[in-house]
Amino acid sequence: MTEVALIDAGGANLGSVRYALERLGAQVRLVRDADGLRDARRVILPGVGAAVPAMQRLHAQGLFEPLRQLEVPLLGICLGMQLLFERSEEGGGVATLGLIPGTVRKLVPATGIRVPHMGWNRLLPLRGSPLLRDIPERASAYFVHSYAAPLNAHTVAACDHGGLFSAVVEHGRYFGAQYHPERSGDTGALLLRNFLQDTAE
């Protein structure tokens, strides 16, 4: 049974992520300070909300540097994925964890393109990744967000909502899903399973 440290960064999706992990047989440990990370085999940073208060909470919990110094796989979900990057434009701009190069930017509304991006959309695989194992090409996933990371060298799957953005990323031991795997049926369950089983420590 894989033990997972699940960061409580104040996101409303914490309980549903925990339930999704437990359905896969994971032993989940809720983490609210650096001590909770000790001996964890996998770490997940979920999030719903805004980058500025989320970063304030991570600093207040003493988790900023411990997360940056992790030596085990780390998965960010939704806002948690955005926090893995260097900066976010949200709230006038905020420095985030700096684990993946790049800046998270606001999605641009246009005719027929609503922001926030909310609902089911297709994943467009760009390169191989252990996170994508057994996930069919152009599988659908559930998104809720107003900010996103542009495509870069670490994008393994994109999504198109008025333009392409990073839907799944991988950079060394750091992984991210902009969509909500806990709300994405088989597509989400496979990604979580792959993170638990197939990412190398």
pLDDT at residue 189, as a whole number: 97
How is the chain split into domains, by residue range? 3-198
pTM of the model: 0.95
Q: State the catalytic residue, choosing from 78, 90, 154, 159.
A: 78
Average pLDDT of span 38-50: 91
Q: Cis omega before residue 116 (within 30°)? A: yes
Rounded distance between C-alpha atoms, residue 37 and residue 59, angstroms: 15
Which CATH fold topology does 3-198 show? Rossmann fold (3.40.50)
Q: Please indicate whether residue 78 is annotated as part of the active site.
A: yes
Catalytic, out of 159, 170, 171, 182:
182
- Distance in angstroms (rounded) separating the CA atoms of residues 26 and 22: 5
Catalytic-role residue among 117, 145, 161, 180:
180
3 state SS of 127: coil
Active site residue 180: yes
182 included as an active-site residue: yes
**pLDDT tens digits along 97-144:** 999 999 999 999 888 899 999 999 999 999 999 999 999 988 999 999
Residue-wise pLDDT for 133-186, tens only, equals: 999 988 999 999 999 999 999 999 999 999 999 999 999 999 999 999 999 999
